[in-house]
Chain A
Amino acid sequence: MEYLASDKIAIVDLSTGDITEDELDEDLVLDKIGGAGITKHLYDQHVSAHPTENGPIVLGTGLLTGTLVPGASLGILTAKSPSTGKVSHMPLNLDAGMELKYSGFDYIVIKGSADKPVYLWIHDGILDINDAGDLWGKDTWAATDHIRSEMGDDLIQVLSIGQAGENGSDLAQIGINYWQSADRFGFGRLCGEKNLKLIAIRGMGLLEISEPEAFMEDCAELIAAIRSNTTTPNQGIAAVSAALGEEDLGDWLGPLTHRHMACFNTPVATNTFIFTDEDPALLKETIVTEPGFLLTDIFPLVALKKAGLSAKDAGLVLKACAKYGIDGAAVAELSAKSGLTRPEEIEKTLPDLKGPVESTGKSIFSPWAAVGQDINANWERRQAVAYVLGLHPIWFQITTELTEEKLLDLAGLGSEMEFTQETLDEVIEDILA
């Protein structure tokens, strides 16, 4: 696969320590396109051939991930959810999807379980299984700091579990760097079962484009249309929440808001950094080591607000959840049921919290992008398209410029392959089956 790919699939067996590599077959891409289309295929391929107690975890990226298509930031993690029992997909957003795309691998299948704690170091087409003895027991912040310090780079993207995953909590989450992810499926527990503490990713690769001028022209037209579209939401999690039909959190978050941060190449910032321990108006670099928290998940915010917490307390709760490696949406739901409102009280309960929780949702896609709406067939289709082509799922819900036709066109221009609407329909049907 010459274009828009590294042409490499890695299969890691944690039980034996073996790592094998395959080429990314063009026929597979023609058949399944990319993203969740292929991660699902690889999951099916490897779970049936080598049945284990817990199935494989498959990491991948969409066909357009890492390009200048607006919102093309998405990585995907596909696995069988310990909570729901269904093969489900969570988004790898912020800069993690981009980093995976440039890491030298298109897809990574992680099978089996290690005898003792390990971590994966994925860099420039090399995949290492390293000892995680020093990391086990650390919260996600300490683990991320440790890896970045050891490897000598602050831009390494880290998917990690905290003590929740290590202890087998079914609400355990795989976090992205220091922040909450959209893992509603208990994948943190799955990693814990595999003795997989974290996956560190860093890549300085290059993606060739089949028809670069035409591709870039289309991308430029898209971004121009997006910029001039007056219905494009404002920046920040509060505005996006309102755009998705949920509460406007603007007044509640406003006094603590520092800056809005976007996921890779996503025109609308769906994340907001609040300062809980520093003056949010401060522009120069603070001397406080942990001044606040990056809010990445609308649902728990809304839930905590409805439970009567202040924005600061909500931030502190979510920070504690992120560090412990537990799904903030589940914590918000369960805390509301118990009537807890103080961060220190909520934090104490984290090790004992158990599901099931409604925030998991009923879909195989994380309901992270579905706040305020019913998860219906239309929503699922949109999510499927986003996960196959590599688009930010929240952004894809609110944009009007990115049509399926346009995206298939871009996929063709970029990859020198032809993708029809029929193929896309089949891939989606297969994913949703």
Chain B
Amino acid sequence: MGIQIDALKCIACMACELACGYHRDDAFALLSSCIVPYRGREKKNYVGIILKEEDSLVAARPEGVEINRIGEEQDPEKEADASAKPMLLRESCDLCDDVDDGPLCITFCPTGAISMA
């Protein structure tokens, strides 16, 4: 059981990032989220979602999902290369285990881009 992401449905609204940030900080903030729409390629309209799990980094790219074990060597040319322990200060996804209705990112995603596997 885990989070499943369809990057093509994502409209980069960041509701997931804010919802996860709320789960971490009990306030609205964006620095602690373990799920982040990657927005750094604005002129190219290249948007994906990065999710930090316990042992792995899920990079949901528009062209497909990559799951890499954190700490293992991968292609250093790619962003979100898990070997460099990205998102070091962020806790990994706990599926909002203390929330009755489950992961908040799923609750607040307006397009259904995020779901439970």
Chain A interface (Cβ < 8 Å from any Cβ of B): 66-68, 70, 95, 98, 102, 141, 154-155, 177-178, 204-209, 212, 216, 219-220, 223-224, 226-227, 235, 258-269, 273, 275, 283-286, 288-292, 294
Dominant secondary structure at the B interface: mixed
Contacts of A258 in B (CB 8 A): 45
User: B110 contacts A68, CB within 8 Å?
Assistant: no
Closest chain A residue, CB of each to CB of B99: A216
Structural contact, B29 and A261, CB atoms closer than 8 A: no
Q: B11, B31, B44: which contacts A291 (Cβ < 8 A)?
A: B44
What are 21 of the A-B contact pairs (CB < 8 Å)? A68-B22, A68-B28, A154-B40, A204-B30, A206-B29, A207-B29, A209-B27, A209-B28, A212-B27, A220-B108, A259-B11, A261-B11, A261-B12, A264-B14, A265-B15, A283-B62, A284-B62, A285-B44, A285-B46, A288-B44, A291-B44
The interface residues of chain B lying within 8 Å CB-to-CB of A95 are 14, 39
* Contact for B22 among A212, A235, A283, CB less than 8 A: A212
CA distance A59 to B7 in the complex (A): 34
Q: Which residue of B lies closest to A67 (CB)?
A: B28
Distance between B87 CB and nearest chain A CB, rounded to angstroms: 14
Inter-chain contacts of B25 with A (CB < 8 A): 206
Cβ of B84 < 8 Å from any Cβ of A? no
**Contact flags B1-30 to A (C-beta < 8 A → 1, else 0):** 000000010011111001100100111111
**A112 to B35 CA separation, bound complex (whole angstroms):** 42
Task: Name which residue of chain B comes closest to A258, CB basis.
Answer: B45
The CA of A67 and the CA of B19, in the complex, are separated in Å by 9
Q: Closest Cβ of chain A: how far from B7's Cβ, in Å?
A: 9
Contact of B43 among A207, A235, A290 (CB under 8 A): A290
B11 to A260, Cβ gap below 8 A?
yes
Which residue of the partner chain, among A102, A269, A283, A288, contacts B11 with CB atoms under 8 Å?
A269
Q: Is B107 an interface residue (CB 8 A)?
A: yes
Are A219 and B108 within 8 A (Cβ)? yes
Q: In the bound complex, how far is the Cα of B29 from the Cα of A177, in angstroms?
A: 22
Q: Within 8 Å of chain A (Cβ to Cβ): is B97?
A: no
Q: B75: which A residues are within 8 A, CB to CB?
A: none
User: Is the Cβ of A207 less than 8 Å from the Cβ of B108?
Assistant: no
Complex contact B14–A273 (CB within 8 A): no
A320–chain B nearest beta-carbon distance, Å: 15
